[in-house]
Amino acid sequence: MIQMLSVAFVAGLFFESSQPECLTQFPLSKPECWTDWFDRDDPSGTGDWETLSDLRKEYPGKICSKPVGVETRTLSGLTVAAAGDVIYVSDTTTGFVCRNQDQPRNKMCNDYRVRFSCPPCFCKVCWTKWYNRDAPSGTGDWENLINLRTENPGQICDHPLSIEAVTTDTLTPAISTGQTFISNPTDGFVCRNTDQKSGACRDYKVRFGCPCN
Ligand SMILES: [Ca+2]
Ligand SMILES: [Ca+2]
């Protein structure tokens, strides 16, 4: 009976793990795809609340829909065991909560950061096609995300992880041109002629790295 229960338990785990946003199978014991570390709360109120629902609101798109692991450290790098706090919850469904009321002798919780491991496909980057919507003949080369989204509806993921910008003629990475520009996965790419010593931007094209799921 015990054996049957444990088989059912393992099967349940496996079923859970095969449901996330991709169908890639992977060894549960070796999750390799970790999110950033998050620290949205501190324990000065009722405790340190690093719940998944709050973290998802604060960091949209940064955490997969079904994490397979959670890791917690104090801001100074201690494990929960080393810090000695009583933890209310720490799992892949709720996230992490340390309540001050659970600590002995009116002690406050330490301040924790958390990160989650996700199915590998969540961390894999899939590139969009290259976009070149503008030329620098006006005020500059505006390959900004808001315009690219409007002109190419449904093509670029909601939360790109990265951006690549190169010149259209020599495919030189923007970073190597010596020009001044803004380039990030949230805003896209903008090079303004007025910011250049030469008075003119080169023409760039961009593409975005998205989660593959
Ligand atoms: Ca915290
Ligand atoms: Ca361009």
Per residue in 65-85, pLDDT tens? Answer: 999 999 999 999 999 999 999
Interval between CA 133 and ligand 2 midpoint (Å): 6
Question: CA–CA separation, 14 vs 31, rounded Å?
Answer: 13
Interval between CA 109 and ligand 1 midpoint (Å): 9
Question: CA–CA separation, 48 vs 1, rounded Å?
Answer: 40
Interval between CA 123 and ligand 2 midpoint (Å): 28
Please state, in angstroms and as integers, the Cα–Cα distance from residue 57 to each residue in 52, 61, 86, 105, 136, following that order: 8, 9, 26, 33, 37
Q: State the ligand closest to the CA atom of 44.
A: 1
Q: Hey, where are the domains in the chain?
A: 29-123, 125-211
List the one residue out of 102, 19, 112 whose CA is nearest residue 71: 112
Interval between CA 74 and ligand 1 midpoint (Å): 8
Residue 71's contacts (CB-CB under 8 Å, 6 or more residues apart) are: 34, 114, 115, 116, 117
Per residue in 130-158, pLDDT tens? Answer: 999 999 999 999 999 999 999 999 999 99
